[in-house]
Amino acid sequence: MINSIVNDFTEDEKREFIIYLKKKNRRGDVKNLTLFKSLSSGKTLGTAEKIYEKSSKNAFHALCNRLQTNLIDFVASKSFSGETSEEMEIMKLLLASRIFFEHKNNKVAFKTLLKAEKKALELDLYSILNEIYTTKIQYAHLNPNLILSEIFEDSKRNNLNFQRESQLNMAYASIKKRIKVQKENLASGIITEVFSDFNIEIAETLTYKSLFQLMNLTSTAAKLQSDYNNISTLMEDIYGIIKNKKTILVEKHLFYHIEILHLMAVTSFRNKQFKKSLDFITQMEDEMLKRNRIYFKLFQEKLTLIKAMNLNYTGEANDAISLLDKFEGKSSEVSLSLCTFFFQQHRFNMAYQVFKDFSHSDIWYEKKNGWIWVLKKSIIEILILIELDKLDLVLLRLNSFKRKFNKRLKEIGEERVLTFMSFVNNYYENPKMISSEKFKNKVETSFVWVGVEREDIFVMSFYAWLKSKMEKKNLYETTLELVQQK
């Protein structure tokens, strides 16, 4: 467990934790620092012997436990102190009110608790409201102006809302489980079936947060199945419910509204509905400017990425590249998109330079971005290496690809990726054969296509590389022809 925590730390976080440990160490004992530095460098062999002159399993085990506790405390305190979300702000107010009560500062305590209640009601945070009403009831006898029966009614009403939200959470958990197990079933069908089992109706009675959760879950399932076409009707239906909500609710739930607009922009893009996607992007950007741009920085990367995607696939590749290249603090998502755009422009050396910035392991990236992202990263790396004639590395990456992804891809019914990679392997072994009629016929009969309208844009993009090789055409032009065909 300690290794998994340490491996998630950035270099800056490692330095911060060392400072944190030094402040906590009251004695000259620095064994915990020695252990942490060994774990950070990956040199764990013989660590116990280095720290303790005589082998002492019990002492080393106790040291590991203390370090683990310190790591958890550091992560929790760093998260809490750095958190700026409204939900966390309310939690801080609730905690502060309880501290004021303990110090007999009742007037300030009730004022702080009331502020927390007001904010929690605005955001429909029923679980936090449960804690707020419990605290309010506990200390109600200290405020003669409070009417106990009214607090009880507020608490009962909130409990009903909390139970309904709990039921939704159980439904979401069931949907996630079924999507994972029933990989061959379409996401929209699973969602409809589970909601029926729980007697939940997709209607205006659902809160903004619940509607967002449902859309996010639907979009995640589509991403895993590379099938955004199947969920488009459901996404439109949910968005229609949201549009019918009162404007005041949209303002109240600005964070979720921006998230929803982003999900709709992504869904439209993945279905090659570029005009619709751009409309959602415009709305998203307008919402990000509200409340003195409170959420602008939080959503800036998502906005930049979906903008760049639309630019790239509507013939404005240079603008897309410029947009991502200028973006500060490039994440792995931004870097992979930039790498892909360079690759599509035959700027293979530039693509490889960007790719070399991926310094973490695939296990680390999978935790951060999911295995589908790692899959795309692996494919684009192999294609770049082929284009740069780094053939000694290609075979290694192809063999690694089979080990990592064969089983997973078969489990979700995406044998097409394996078929594509087998053709990539054929090209690697004999580049000249790719333009032969025999090879072209084999390609045409090997893939199971679902139609231009339904086919995912990223699936088309990878196939475009193979098609451009067979027809000896420009990769980007081939990609646009495939994506924009009617």
CA pair distance 178, 195, nearest whole angstrom? 12
Please report the pLDDT score of residue 183 as a whole number: 65
Q: Are 395 and 431 in contact (CB under 8 A)?
A: no
CA pair distance 475, 462, nearest whole angstrom? 10
330 lies in some domain: no
Q: Write the CB contacts of 137 (distance below 8 Å, at least 6 apart in sequence).
A: 148, 151, 152, 155
178 lies in some domain: no
32 lies in some domain: yes
Please report the pLDDT score of residue 168 as a whole number: 85
- The domain in which residue 18 lies consists of 2-82
CA pair distance 363, 374, nearest whole angstrom? 9
Kindly provide the b/e burial profile for residues 367-394, where b requires at least 16 CB atoms within 10 angstroms of the residue's own CB.
eebeebbbbbbbbbbbbbbbbeeeeeeb
Within the chain, which residues score under 50 in pLDDT? Answer: 82-84
47 lies in some domain: yes
Angle among Cα 160, 165, 170 to the nearest 5 degrees reads 125
CA pair distance 301, 433, nearest whole angstrom? 42
9 lies in some domain: yes
- CA of 443: how far to CAs of 226, 387, 427, in Å? 20, 20, 12
192 lies in some domain: no
Kindly state the DSSP code that residue 144 receives in the 8-state scheme: T
Kindly state the DSSP code that residue 203 receives in the 8-state scheme: S
Q: Write the CB contacts of 396 (distance below 8 Å, at least 6 apart in sequence).
A: none
CB atoms within 10 A of CB 400: 14
27 lies in some domain: yes
8 lies in some domain: yes
Q: Are 240 and 206 in contact (CB under 8 A)?
A: no
CA pair distance 48, 412, nearest whole angstrom? 44
Please report the pLDDT score of residue 342 as a whole number: 97
Please report the pLDDT score of residue 81 as a whole number: 56
Q: How many helices (H) and strands (E) does the chain have?
A: 27, 0
0.85 surpassed by pTM: no
* 3-state secondary structure (DSSP) of residue 414: coil
Q: Report the domain count for the chain.
A: 1
Q: Are 379 and 391 in contact (CB under 8 A)?
A: no
